Amino acid sequence: MKELRYLDNVATLVLDEEKCIGCSLCTEVCPHAVFEMKQNRASIVDLNACMECGACVNNCPSGAISVSPGVG
């Protein structure tokens, strides 16, 4: 979603790919398509589209995602 932008390079979103279990919930709940599944694991494909809403963090069962809402 390249058209949805606020400020580039300020999002605090972090994905620990080693902790990812491949459930794909992050791709389902992210309103800006920040994540994509690659080889059965989540991957951040558009960090600058992240609005730090926390939906991915709240739905990640393995704790692989972190974000500090309101910082970026």
| Residue spans per domain, the chain | 17-59
Q: What is the pLDDT along the chain (72 residues), one digit of tens a residue?
A: 456 666 788 899 999 999 999 999 999 999 999 999 999 999 999 999 998 999 999 999 999 999 997 765
Find residue 38's DSSP bridge partners.
41
In this prediction, residue 9 carries a pLDDT of: 85
Per the CB < 8 A criterion, the answer to whether 51 and 35 are in contact is: no
Cα(62)–Cα(72) distance, integer angstroms: 24
Strands 14-15, 35-38: pairing kind: unpaired
Instruction: Look at the domain 17-59 and name its fold.
Output: Alpha-Beta Plaits (3.30.70)
Cα(30)–Cα(57) distance, integer angstroms: 10
One-letter identity of residue 42: A
